[in-house]
Amino acid sequence: MIRFLSILISVFLLAACQQGTIALVTNGQSDYRIVIPAAATEIEHQAASELQKYLQKISGARLPIVNDDTAPEINEILIGNARPAVQQAINKASLQDAGFHLKTNGKQLIIAGGSGKGTLFGVYGFLEDYLGCRKYSSAVSYTPEMPTIQLAPIDDIQIPIFQYRDLHMPDPIGDSSFTAWHKLHARPQRQKSWGMWVHTFDDLVPPERYFQTNPEYFSLINGERSPNFQLCLTNPEVFSLGISGLQARMQKKPAARYWSVSQNDTYGPCQCDNCAEIDETHGGPSGSIVTFVNKVAAQFPDKIISTLAYQYSRSAPVDILPADNVNIVLCSIECNRSESIATDSRSASFRRDIVEWGKLTDNILIWDYTVQFRNYVDPFPNLRVLQPNLQFFAANNARLMFQQGSGTSWSEFYQLRTYIIAKLLWNPDVNVSAIIDDFLNGFYGDAGQYLRQYIDRTHDALAAAGDDLQIYGYPYDGIDSYLTPDLIQEYIQLFDAAEAAVADDPQVLQRVKNARLPLEFAILEISKRNVDEFLSLHKKVDGSWQVKPTMRQRLQNFIAGVKTAGIERLEEHGTSPDEYQAATEAFFEKGFIQHLAYQKPVALHTTHSEKYPVGGAAALTDGLTGINDYHFNWLGFEAHEMDAVIDLGEEREIKEISANFLQDYGAWIWLPQSVEFLISSDGEKYVSLPPVQRRAAERNKEKLIETFRSTLAPTKTRYIRVKTSSRIHCPDWHIGAGGDAWIFCDEVIIR
């Protein structure tokens, strides 16, 4: 990458020499100086200091910084509003807050910016675009060494389309210099300008404080008030509490302009007569929200009241406009990530919603999602949709952007993904392919070419398959597209070549090893399904199944790798490396069971769900048990009972039948109320064993697995039938009241 940049810079400077224009530095010497206004702002001081520092690092020449109350000279770099008489041709107002204008004026260079950080951004833009400097991550930068700096004429105006550019990734959050270089809004800026930030109903009217005495403040769901949902937005006392709560907070943060009055991160809008009437009038739950928020905004005309268009409230209301000082945060959480939102048929409803909201207001912040949240350390080939999605948002007049990534946590290719998104937030029309090459070669050196092949291969495979890519997915989701067994072998070879290419550079080699961790994670996770000889955790030795020593070692290497990389959690809500290791080692020992029904055919008399594919009915006898995560090895039934018949092929003597079921309160998954086991020799006449009742409490909020087991005297039989008696819909007291309920079974074990 360094050689590549040097060639580009040399070509640019040669053109400058041929045109005989500005010679900023010649052989490490310069007669230029940096000029700032006599009453320079903090940003102008910072811009001048940064320019001085980098020019010295590049060329060895340290240019002095002087005020513009000194006599003017020919060889000057004017910063900000320095020498305004010289800068008359520059329209500062048009640069808005963050834009900048780079312009040569005779022998002078002008770097002028908008009213915010525009001048500082102009310095960084000049250093990057014209001198070849790079800041790939908070830890990896490139500054060329050039004793001579000559410039061709410049007249470059850059004004970002997105006025607010918030990127929720480790480097922008943790490194203010990285954030400024890439012209982003840092987290401290958001914390300063936003008094409250999304999901604030519980903050404004805390249920632990008010529900017992005033249940009427909270959502009425199926005739009952509940503290687990939203607020009753037509209750005048809720409005008063919200206003007083905001007033108290505003007194503590008077400089904050944005204040969120928004739904909790759950479902359940109020169904009382008054709320229902407003929602019916305005076409859905966003009607009562906008009505309420407009009333709040009227009390604070000098503030912006922000609210969410999220999940149940995502659709725009009809016959009502958000007030001028109301901001809509429109969330794309449901959208598929394998294809652009603009063209994907699976995203049609979101396209409709952004268009409809755009007809009502131009004060829209898009909350977009850019990583794999369920498994941060998971291959996630979404890089090709980043640009068309941001172009789509821009085309629909969205000017405020929050790109949610992995926060302070490590995630797959997070430095690359951050670099791409930062460039797109400044200019959605940049050449992304060139940006990827620039980053890969600069960050990974000679290994970059192999990582480019890996990235292209994963994306090509996903596109060819036409599969979904969800932000709450798992490696096994790609088993038929970008993580097939054959492709995984190709990826291993590419990473082997990448590591070999930089074997003599320990720092770069470690970056390549870090980039390899998602592939290793995918191998471990997919192998839990015993896909093929390589992608499997167990092998048969002398008639019994044993854990492969190679897979034990692979797990050890993976855990050592994530710890070396500084990875503290593997998914959005937790899972430390040690926790993952313990869970996987437990699966080594208990995840595979060989029993009388192993790989025997299963006939289902009810319909299972394909939302979480595990191979259909065969999952009930594949020998694989589940963990307390419904995505893994669980056959799901949505609003259906399970009625399955297993054929042992011949009469066998049995003495025990069992089946494991999962309960995950938050995911609307319930244990059956009871399970009935039946046996038959001919598949026609069945003998029923006494039903087995559930033991765990239905309101137990912990994720749990319960075994339903029947024992009997040794009996010969061929067919075993398993029938559940379950909830079809979630109970009235639950957050998903009335919604379709699930049951999940992992294995029917016959002994």
Q: DSSP for 439-463?
A: HHHHHHGGGHHHHHHHHHHHHHHHH
Q: How far apart are CA 694 and CA 410, in angstroms?
A: 40
- Asked which of 5-14, 72-81, 668-677 is least confident by mean pLDDT, the reply is 5-14
SS3 709: strand
Question: Rounded to whole angstroms, how far apart are CA atoms 40 and 43?
Answer: 8
Cβ contacts of 338 within 8 Å, gap of 6 or more:
344, 381, 382, 385, 462, 463, 466, 467, 468, 469
Q: Is the pLDDT of residue 381 over 70?
A: yes
Q: What percent of the chain has pLDDT over 70?
A: 97
Break the chain down into helix, strand, coil percent, rounded to 5. Answer: 35, 20, 40
pLDDT class of 1 with cuts at 50, 70, 90: very low
pLDDT digits (tens, 9 = 90+) for 323-346: 999 999 999 999 999 999 999 999
- Which pLDDT does position 409 carry in this prediction? 96
**CATH classification (class only), 181-430:** alpha beta
What's the CATH number for 2-159? Answer: 3.30.379.10
What pLDDT sits at residue 347?
Answer: 96
Domain with CATH 3.30.379.10 in the chain: 2-159
What 3-state class would DSSP assign to 329? strand
Please say if the pLDDT value at position 413 is more than 70. Answer: yes
Between CA 346 and CA 353, with CA 349 as vertex, the angle to 5 degrees is: 145
Residue 726 has pLDDT above 60, yes or no: yes
> Taking residues 296-307, what's their average pLDDT?
97
- Does residue 316 register a pLDDT over 50? yes
Strands 326-331 and 304-309: parallel
d(CA 418, CA 424): 10
Q: Dump pLDDT digits (tens) for 10-39.
A: 334 333 334 448 999 999 999 999 999 999
DSSP state of 345: G
| N residues, the chain | 751
Locate all alpha helices (DSSP H) within 663-712, ordered by sequence.
Answer: none
pLDDT > 90: percent of the chain: 84
Where does the chain hold its CATH 3.20.20 domain(s)?
181-430
Q: Which residues contact 503 (CB under 8 A, 6 or more apart)?
A: 509
DSSP class of residue 530 equals -
Compute the CA torsion angle 190, 192, 197, 203 (nearest 10 deg): 160
The pLDDT value given to residue 219: 95
**Which pair of tokens denotes residue 275?**
């709320």
488, 441 contact by CB (below 8 A): no
Q: Quick one: fold of 602-750? A: Jelly Rolls (2.60.120)
Question: What's the CA gap between 169 and 477, in Å, rounded?
Answer: 25
Residue with token string 């199944």: 545
What integer pLDDT is reported at residue 18 of this predicted model?
41
Give pLDDT, residue 627.
80
Mean pLDDT for 407-423 is 97
pLDDT band at 2 (very low <50, low <70, confident <90, very high): very low
Question: What per-residue confidence (pLDDT) applies to 266?
Answer: 87
148: confidence class by pLDDT, cuts 50, 70, 90: very high
Residue 191 has pLDDT above 90, yes or no: no
Q: How many CB atoms lie within 10 A of CB 199?
A: 15
What H or E segment, with its residue span, contains residue 477? Answer: none
Write down the pLDDT at residue 737.
78
The amino acid occupying position 232 is C
Token pair listed for 506 = 């320990």
For position 623, what pLDDT does the model report?
A: 85
- Enumerate the H helices of 591-703 as residue ranges: none
CATH 2.60.120.1190 boundaries in the chain: 602-750
**Average pLDDT score over the chain:** 93
What's residue 9's pLDDT? Answer: 40
Return the pLDDT at 655. Answer: 95
pLDDT digits (tens, 9 = 90+) for 597-625: 988 999 999 999 988 878 899 999 988 88
Average pLDDT over residues 460-487: 95
In this prediction, residue 7 carries a pLDDT of 36
- Asked if residue 437 has pLDDT above 60, the reply is yes
The predicted model gives 170-176 an average pLDDT of 94
Q: What pLDDT shows up at residue 19?
A: 47
- Average pLDDT (500-504) is 98
* 3-class secondary structure, 404: strand
Q: What is the pLDDT of residue 267?
A: 86
Q: What's the pTM?
A: 0.90
